[in-house]
Amino acid sequence: MRNNGAEKNQRRHAQGNDALRVVNLFQNQVIAASTRVP
C-alpha cells in the first residue's frame, strides 16, 4: 500500500511540474511579445 501511495504522489508532482512548465512558457511568451513592441 505504501508503494501505491508513493506512486500516486509522484504522479501528482509530475502533473504539477508539467502545469508549472506550461505557465512559465506562457509567461515567457507574453514577456517576449511585450519586449518586441517598440
Ramachandran assignment for 37, one of left (phi > 0), alpha (psi -120 to 50 degrees), beta (any other): beta
Give the pLDDT band (50/70/90) at residue 1. low
The reported pLDDT for the residue numbered 10 is 76
**Distance between CA 36 and CA 18 in Å, rounded?**
27
Residue 12 has pLDDT above 70, yes or no: yes
Express each pLDDT in 2-11 by its tens digit: 677 777 777 7
Express each pLDDT in 13-28 by its tens digit: 778 899 999 999 999 9
Maximum distance among all Cα pairs of the chain, rounded to whole angstroms: 58
The reported pLDDT for the residue numbered 2 is 65
Q: Give the residue with greater pLDDT, 16 vs 12.
A: 16
**Distance between CA 35 and CA 38 in Å, rounded?**
8
Query: What letter represents residue 29's amino acid?
Result: Q
